């Protein structure tokens, strides 16, 4: 995602489908290594950092002609990709107490050290909801220093990982160097300035940046959605669609974002939401859930089968007033417009999907806009 961006993006388009490393194999292997190998130096990485690392590993694998096992070994040195499973074979592990990784969510909550000192119990309570290492003692833990094997979807090869092992098998220096390299490359080669907002950088136009987020997103659902058994086969098949969408850099950022929402919408659960981000530097992000290029200065609500105006930004020249009923948008019936947007909404019932699609037609409340400078007249014309 970054001044090499132009050449990288063009090269990635020309070579689409000719990658040296299988994207599907990488995505499956990455999720297993990320979530189930106990590297103590990745426990506090947040989801954004994991997306940087995923994008970077794919980018460097293509540049250097490396395979899945080569790049994933940077996260866990014992990883092996083989033609035959290594299930049950023992790994040469470091001496010491064996640890495994316990997952309580998608990443670790980073609290300032002052907060940890002043509120140790609160810090422990919060952090325990995410990831932590646990000593593998007693029954109920996978065997230490033993390989477990998982078949990769495209090549049919096996990724072999050790789920329970000593901290000494991992290098703090090398793990930190990986994150530093990934972050630097992400922000210098895999993103580009946004026209008119040069201090902001946008990853949406680069295939590697898109792949990094797509791989992370697909794995979050695959491993942590509580009802995945109802959608498992379908969701595994969706991986190819996530990858194809990410690699199609001819698709605009907004179209890509909405494409991701469409794929997530196949999971019928109202708790799933996707937020688009525009990055300002290496840390600060501006988020929006709308996925629209332009916005209108009104907020709508859907009540009893009708679409009402709930609020209007003052001074924008909009003639609508609260409680007005909207019957058409751009000359099209409201129901037709809402029906199209339902494809991008995840909800447990048809009624809930219809309601969320109607509420999402504008983004005034979500964007917090009381100022007309945040809204485009093109959206309202």
Is 313 contained in some domain?
yes
> DSSP secondary structure string, 260-311?
HHHHHTTS--TT----EEEEETTTEEEEES---SS--SEEEEEETTEEEEEE
Tokens of 48: 């954004």
Task: Average the pLDDT over 247-276 and give the result.
Answer: 81
- The CATH number of whichever domain residue 350 belongs to comes to 2.30.42.10
Is 324 contained in some domain?
yes
Q: How many structural domains are present in the chain?
A: 1
Cβ(273)–Cβ(347) below 8 Å: no
What confidence score (pLDDT) does residue 150 get?
96
> DSSP secondary structure string, 186-223?
HHHTS-EEETTEEEEEE-TT-HHHHHHHHHHHHHHHHH
Is 335 contained in some domain?
yes
Is 354 contained in some domain?
yes
Tokens of 295: 């916005």
- Residue 228 predicted with pLDDT over 90: no
**More reliable by pLDDT, 239 or 138:** 239
**More reliable by pLDDT, 299 or 19:** 299
Closest CA to 50 of 64, 36, 37, 31: 31
| CA pseudo-torsion sign 112, 116, 118, 124 | positive
What confidence score (pLDDT) does residue 225 get?
85
Q: What is the mean pLDDT of the chain?
A: 78
Convert the pLDDT of each residue in 181-218 to its tens digit.
999 999 888 887 766 656 666 667 789 999 998 999 89
Query: Cα separation of 325 and 341, whole Å?
Result: 19
Q: What angle do CA 101, 1, 212 make, to 5 degrees?
A: 35
- Residue 108 predicted with pLDDT over 60: no
Is 168 contained in some domain?
no
Domain with 315, as residue range(s), is 298-380
- Residue 18 predicted with pLDDT over 60: no
From 194-203, 221-230, 251-260, the region with the lowest mean pLDDT? 194-203
Convert the pLDDT of each residue in 110-145 to its tens digit.
666 676 677 666 655 554 446 778 888 877 788 999
Convert the pLDDT of each residue in 24-73 to its tens digit.
999 999 999 999 999 999 988 888 899 999 999 999 999 999 999 999 99
How much of the chain, in percent, has pLDDT values that exceed 70?
74
What confidence score (pLDDT) does residue 50 get?
92
Is 316 contained in some domain?
yes
Sorting pLDDT into bands at 50, 70 and 90, what band is 357? confident
Closest CA to 204 of 247, 250, 256: 256
Sorting pLDDT into bands at 50, 70 and 90, what band is 161? very high
Task: Average the pLDDT over 8-36 and give the result.
Answer: 68
Own/partner long-range contacts of 14-19 (Cβ < 8 Å, ≥24 apart): 16/207, 16/247, 16/248, 19/62
Convert the pLDDT of each residue in 306-336 to its tens digit.
888 888 877 677 778 888 898 887 788 888 8
Question: Distance between alpha carbon 205 and the CA centroid of its chain, in Å?
Answer: 16
Give how far Cα 368 sits from Cα of 114, 261, 288, 295, 362, Å: 31, 22, 10, 12, 12
- Residue 379 predicted with pLDDT over 60: no
Closest CA to 280 of 202, 210, 214: 202
What confidence score (pLDDT) does residue 124 get?
56
Is 250 contained in some domain?
no
Is 84 contained in some domain?
no
Which distant-in-sequence residues (6+ apart) come within 8 Å of 24 by Cβ? 152, 153, 154, 239, 240, 243
Which distant-in-sequence residues (6+ apart) come within 8 Å of 179 by Cβ? 45, 49, 52, 53
What confidence score (pLDDT) does residue 318 get?
74
């Amino acid at each position: 995602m970054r001044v090499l961006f132009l050449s990288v993006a063009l090269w990635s388009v020309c070579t689409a489908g000719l990658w040296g490393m299988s994207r599907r194999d990488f995505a499956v292997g990455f999720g297993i290594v990320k979530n189930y190998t106990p590297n103590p130096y990745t426990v506090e990485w947040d989801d954004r950092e994991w997306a940087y690392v995923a994008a970077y590993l794919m980018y460097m694998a293509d540049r250097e002609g490396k395979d899945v096992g080569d790049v994933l070994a940077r996260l866990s040195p014992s990883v092996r990709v083989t033609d035959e499973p290594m299930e049950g074979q023992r790994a040469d592990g470091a001496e010491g107490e064996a640890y495994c990784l316990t997952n309580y969510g998608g990443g670790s909550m980073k609290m300032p050290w002052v907060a940890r000192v002043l509120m140790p119990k609160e810090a422990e309570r919060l952090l325990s909801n995410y990831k932590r290492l646990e000593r593998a003692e007693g029954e109920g833990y996978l065997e230490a220093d033993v390989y477990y094997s998982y078949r990769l979807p495209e090549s049919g090869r096996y990724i072999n990982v050790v789920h329970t092992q000593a901290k000494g098998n991992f290098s703090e220096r090398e793990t930190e160097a990986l994150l530093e390299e990934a972050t630097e490359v992400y922000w210098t080669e895999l993103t580009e300035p946004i026209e008119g907002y040069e201090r902001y950088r946008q990853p949406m136009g680069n295939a590697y940046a898109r792949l990094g987020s797509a791989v992370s997103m697909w794995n979050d659902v695959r491993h942590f959605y509580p009802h995945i058994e109802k959608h498992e086969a379908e969701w595994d098949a969706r991986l190819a669609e996530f990858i194809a969408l990410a690699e199609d850099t001819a698709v605009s950022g907004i179209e890509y974002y909405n494409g991701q929402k469409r794929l997530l919408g196949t999971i019928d659960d109202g708790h799933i939401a996707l937020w688009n981000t525009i990055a300002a530097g290496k840390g600060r992000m501006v988020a929006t859930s709308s996925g629209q290029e332009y916005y209108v200065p009104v907020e709508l609500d859907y009540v009893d089968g009708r679409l009402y105006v709930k609020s209007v930004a003052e001074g924008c020249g909009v003639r609508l007033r609260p409680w007005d009923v909207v019957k058409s948008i751009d000359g099209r019936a409201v129901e037709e417009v809402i029906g199209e947007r339902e494809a991008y909404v995840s909800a447990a019932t048809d009624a809930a999907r219809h309601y969320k699609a109607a509420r999402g037609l504008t983004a005034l409340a979500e964007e917090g806009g009381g100022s007309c400078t945040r809204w485009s007249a093109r959206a309202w014309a």
